[in-house]
Every structure is written in C-alpha cells, then in structure tokens.
Amino acid sequence: MLDAAIKLGIYKEANKCIIGIDEFPDKLLAAYDIVTSTGCFFPNHFPPAAFDRLIDCAKVGGIVIFSIIDYLITEENEGGFYEKIQEIRKSGRIEELEIFKFKKYEGVNIGKF
C-alpha cells in the first residue's frame, strides 16, 4: 500500500522500515508533533521494544498515542508488553495523560448486514 501511495505522489516523503528489525532512519527521531500507532502492538507484529522507537519519533512535548488490546498489557500475558509499559512508565520518558478502554462501534450506526 505504501508503494502505491508513493507512486501517487501524495506524500512529500515516505520511509519504509520494519520497526524493531530494520535500521531506523535517524532523521525520523524527534521529528513529529504527534505519533500514533494502532493495530501494531500484537504478537507477531511489532515487538514490545518498538514502543521505544515510536516514542523517539515524537518531539519534546509531542503526543504519542498507542492502542493495544487490554489483555496484552496484563501481568498474566507473556508477550512482554506489560513489562515494557511498566518500564516506560518508570523511566519518565513520557507523561501518561489518559488511558481508556475502547468500546468497539459504540454509538456508531454501521448499518445492517
């Protein structure tokens, strides 16, 4: 999909890398006011260590938004996400502003199937 978007010329610049695996471009560090990630932190997708790189992309004072399925960040889960979240909280690298539980399709009229 990114290749198709690049061909359309709708982005000034596009960078492809697999976070946690590929070399991460230094020019992306502290480059963004807002960093968002949804549907990425899941077993066999982004590893827990990828949180660090995405946080590194935000400017000082920037906003970082992550979504993750709640059971993945419990002590009982063995995926390493709980430990990484605790490490980030203790490090002081970010200020936690809000955590909320997503309610799928609440108040949304999605029609009949």
Residue extents of the structural domains in the chain: 19-91
Per-residue pLDDT for the chain (113 aa), expressed as one digit of tens each?
778 888 898 888 887 777 767 777 888 899 999 998 888 888 888 889 889 988 999 999 999 998 888 888 888 888 899 999 999 999 998 898 888 777 776 666 665 54
Contacts of 48 (CB under 8 A, 6+ apart): 41, 79, 80, 81, 83, 84
Please give the span between the terminal C-alpha atoms of the chain, in angstroms, as a whole number.
28
Residue 95, helix vs strand vs coil: coil
> What pLDDT sits at residue 5?
82
